A and B are shown apart, each in its own frame.
Chain A
Amino acid sequence: MNDNKLSLEFLKTDECSFSFNQNGFLVLSVDGESKGRIKLIRSYPYSLTDEYICVHDIEDNEIGIIRDLKELDESSLNCALKELQNRYYCPTITSVKSIKERMGHFYFDVVIDGKEKSFTVRDLTRNLRSTNENTLLIFDMDGNRYIIPNQEKIEPKSRRLLEPYLY
């Protein structure tokens, strides 16, 4: 080990093989040995979606970290990507119709997947968060999470509505 550098050990991707079992759950076998149902967890969920993926077994013990999913063979890669997509699915707001304030509660009317949806946000300072990647996260009172992937690119009207609240 280099003295000045921290080093991290990764899973050997050529030994790993991901697949979905007949019930639709992701399973892993390492070198032919089945690890059973597993969970995939992103370390950098906003900036590096397919890198530094932690692999946990069903009891939440870490099996290892995959440096980059692209190192996997194609069928494993597709399974892993599918699993991540499901696990990290987040309703995407495509436009904001209105934001109304009533005594500290903010009522949002938005469009998600072409459908109108309303939700309530309680404390904007905390529940409207911008990440470094210009992504806007919104948390409503029930703990639901919504995302606006690129707040610069959302249509101007929605942007104007959001602007006063962006910190």
Chain B
Amino acid sequence: MKIINKVLFKLHIKKPPRPNFSPSGILPGHIKEVLQENELNTDSIIYSLKTDMTGAEAFGDCYIMFDEKGLYIAEIEEPEIPKKKKKKNTPPPKPVLHKLTALPINEIDEIFAEQYLATGQLTYKYNEEYFSLGYFSIGLLSKADSFKKIFNIFKQGKDYNQYITGDKGSMCQKCGAPVPPGMHFCKDCVSKNSTIKRLFSFFGDVKWKMVFIIVFILFSNALNLLIPQFSTQKLYDEVLNPGNTLGYDALLKGLFTVVLSMAAIKIFNQLFTLVYQYLVAGMLPNVIYSIKIKIFKAMQRLSVGFYTHKQTGSLMERVTRDSNNIYWFFVDGFPYLIGSAITVIGIIVIMFATSVKLTLITLLASTVIFVCYPLFHKLFKKMHHKVWVQHSKLTSKVSDNINGHRIIKAFSKEDDELNAFTKISDKVRDAEVTVANAENTVFPILSIFIYLLGALVLGYGGVLCITTDELTIGQLLTFVVYLQMIQSPIDFLSWVLNWWARCVDSAQRVFEIMDTEPDVKDIENPVILESFRGEIEINELQFEYEPAHPIIKNLSLKIGEGEMLGIVGKTGAGKTTISNLIARLYDPKEGVVKIDGYDVKELSSKQLRKNIGIVSQDIFLFMGTIADNIRYARPDATNDEVIAAAKAASAHSFISKLPDGYETWVGSGGQDLSGGERQRISIARTIIQNPKILILDEATAAMDTETERNIQNSISELKSGRTTIAIAHRLSTLRDADKLAVIDDGECIEFGTFDELMEKKGAYYKLFKLQEEALKFIGIEQADEEDEKEEKENER
């Protein structure tokens, strides 16, 4: 080993760092070495799992592995690799084996992975008795699950090889380059991430306008700087000088020049200001407009998961408040910032030209300010963040309240809600007061300081003026005037920092949205199907909304083109989740959803969603008329089509009874409709989309039996040539289904035709009998059922 290191060193080749991660299931080399030293034949190991706990509450590395003969548990301590390597060529410290346990494989019947709060436990069963294998932290649940799965498949004597998949390692989420474990972006992508740089990149399109604006600001401020030269120095030294020997005419002429040049400078100064302000006002709304569009666009691009994870309030704040913060900084702050900076620099230069000594004193005294600024900057940034957080909480509360106003009224909770609102408002106020207090303390202190500085300068200048002839009265007075002139830009600069802090804080949040990569993304060249047939195949699907909380566990289903599948199952079984996965609103963790033989990940999501219509359980109507809502999927649908779709969805009858008909305004701020009416509009919306795959998620749950039948009849007309998935609790809804699937706890426990399932006398049979009895109980005639059966017979 050491010779190799030496050779590498000589050749100036850096030894590749030891990977501290390894493909799952395979033991890393250095661990193998240690185990082999302890007489464990690691070559025959089939699969291994690295866990991070050695006991219920003890962290420590532990390897669990098995071969044909036994299962082994090795507690191994891997000394940490120090972050700063002292010597480049020291070999990595050797792992130490603390404990090695071996269990004969025929004394293990089955392994289980049990899930606790933040940890999990691997257990096994032998002769109906449970034994513990070890613990792991919950993040390793999926790895522990696959260990369990592979072991159990091995135990059953089946082929486990297909389940052994390598770990892909980590990738940069932006460019896909490999990155060290624990990181998500490669160096290149991260370094581009300066918020300030990116903020200015919004101005890329208007670069030249910006240059113009800056030039005009420069001119206008430079001119401003000249005024004291005339108004004070010339006036006092040349005109009002008591030792002046010039004649009356000459004095008058001098005075005249002073006044005239002052006026001329001011006029030009104002002209320049006017021009740049005009330019800024014309340019910024466009920039902000593009920022807002960008945020909105980024939000549209994001997957469903993103929205469920964010509070509405915080999202709305981003589109409105944050872009406004950026706007105001640039429209008000930025020109002044440049102007002030120019003024300060210019004045300092002029001050130096007037009197070096006096200037040095001034600068020395003002270093205090320059030291303080960065501190204040940090402080204010934090404070503004707090204010923002409270504001977005408040917005969330308000939107929560508006959405739930009915419940609030129904429980007569108005007072409590007001109290809760007041509490949050108090917090907003407190946060704002804190900022205001800080501002009101910091800035007056700075002003006083500057004022004192002026007094100091006047005193010292007076001494210089009287005792030496380094300084004329005019110069001293000009100096003081400049000192006063510098005060407001410095004030502004100190204040603009705070403003800038707010702007950057906002910008960071805006970029957060823009940077969030959608979880569900099209591949580079998605397959565009020529004809979408609508055959669905689901293979060993696994899915979880949140890590370590599996929802769909190993589900397989097949639905032929044009067939209707009915899905039943307990609430929370994962029915809606399945439909979400078919429409690829989420990507599965494992397994595939295939449509027409293609993995949905390969298909263009645009085409996919165009061809899948979902009538979802919770219905959302957009702001607009009923006709707008029905047309949502296909805005070019004709008026005939809208009414036809409404008729098919049994919505026409109630819509025509509304005084405003199809032009009734619905959605937020519009007329309220009943649950069943909304469902019917949502069905019409899907019908007009004319999708190849129709998913009805409890689409008729809120309707009376008669309306449901009407809709069913029209749906069964529409059904031809369409794959339909209907999810329902009421079994009568599924009477037309070709196949039925019973879903329980994320798995398909029964699958087959109605007759098959009834014959099987399993879960579906039980459910059917139960509902039949319930119907009898509430007095629905048996005839009704028979009616239904007859109808079914007729259809065949």
Contact = CB atoms under 8 A, between A and B. Distances in A.
A142 B117 contact: no
Nearest to A119: B182
Contacts of A140: 139
A164 to B, nearest CB: 5
A144 B130 contact: no
B190 interface: yes
Interface stretch (B18-26, B542-550, B591-599, B636-644): B542-550
Interface in A98-148: 102-105, 107, 112-113, 115, 118, 120, 123, 125-126, 140-147
A126 B309 contact: yes
B512 A141 contact: no
A90 B118 CA distance: 5
A73 B752 CA distance: 53
Contact of B393 (A90, A118, A167): A167
Interface string B46-65: 00000000001101000000
Interface string B415-436: 0000000000000000000000
B111 interface: no
Interface centre among A85, A88, A91, A164 (most CB of B within 10 A): A164
A21 to B, nearest CB: 8
A49 to B, nearest CB: 12
A62 B219 CA distance: 81
Contacts of B138: 142-145
B355 interface: no
A158 B138 CA distance: 25
Contact of A103 (B59, B129, B389, B515): B515
A167 B174 contact: no
A37 interface: yes
B311 interface: yes
A25 B182 contact: no
Contacts of B548: 142-143
B71 to A, nearest CB: 16
A102 B116 CA distance: 31
A88 B189 contact: no
Contact of A45 (B56, B117, B131): B117
Given A125-B311, A144-B138, A89 B385 contact: no
Contact of B547 (A23, A91, A142): A142
Nearest to B193: A103
Nearest to A123: B309
Given A86-B56, A143-B547, A102 B193 contact: yes
Contacts of A90: 117-118
Interface size band for B: 35 or more
Nearest to B119: A89
A47 to B, nearest CB: 15
B488 interface: no
Given A102-B193, A113-B59, A86 B129 contact: no
Interface size band for A: 35 or more
Contacts of B57: 85-86, 89
A143 B549 contact: yes
Contacts of B512: 104
Contact of B139 (A113, A115, A142): A142
Nearest to A145: B118
Interface string B493-523: 0000000000000000000100110000000
Contacts of A120: 182, 184
A58 B125 CA distance: 12
Given A102-B185, A103-B193, A87 B117 contact: yes
A24 interface: yes
Contacts of A163: 382, 386
Nearest to B141: A143
A107 B190 CA distance: 13
A164 B190 contact: no
B141 A164 contact: no
B310 interface: yes
A50 to B, nearest CB: 15
A107 B386 CA distance: 20
B629 interface: no
A43 to B, nearest CB: 14
Contact of A102 (B119, B184, B386, B516): B184
Interface in A18-50: 23-25, 37, 45
Contacts of A143: 138-139, 141, 546-549
B290 interface: no
B59 A164 contact: no
B137 interface: yes
Contacts of B386: 163-164
Given A25-B132, A103-B189, A103-B193, A89 B56 contact: yes
Contacts of B546: 143
A43 B116 CA distance: 14
Nearest to A37: B130
A37 B389 CA distance: 47
B117 A103 contact: no
A72 B365 CA distance: 74
B59 A89 contact: no
A145 B516 CA distance: 23
Interface string B22-34: 0000000000000
A89 B131 contact: no
B618 to A, nearest CB: 20
Interface in B114-166: 116-119, 129-132, 137-141
A80 to B, nearest CB: 15
A104 B393 contact: no
Contact of B118 (A85, A89, A104): A89
Contacts of B385: 164
Contacts of B116: 86-89
A81 to B, nearest CB: 13
B547 A141 contact: yes
Contacts of B117: 45, 87-90, 145
Nearest to B190: A102
Contacts of B118: 88-91, 144-147
A37 B130 CA distance: 8
A113 B57 CA distance: 10
B325 interface: no
Interface centre among B132, B386, B547 (most CB of A within 10 A): B547
A118 B184 CA distance: 14
B314 interface: yes
A58 B138 CA distance: 20
A118 B189 CA distance: 21
B130 to A, nearest CB: 5
Nearest to B310: A125
Contacts of A113: 59
Interface string B3-43: 00000000000000000000000000000000000000000
Nearest to B55: A86
Interface in B224-243: none
19 contacts: A23-B132, A24-B132, A58-B130, A85-B56, A86-B57, A102-B190, A103-B189, A103-B190, A104-B516, A113-B59, A143-B139, A144-B137, A145-B117, A145-B118, A145-B138, A164-B382, A166-B389, A167-B392, A167-B393
Given A125-B310, A125-B311, 13 more contacts: A23-B130, A87-B117, A88-B117, A89-B57, A89-B116, A102-B190, A103-B185, A103-B193, A104-B516, A107-B182, A143-B549, A144-B139, A167-B393
4 tightest A-B contacts by CB?
Answer: A143-B547, A142-B139, A143-B548, A144-B139
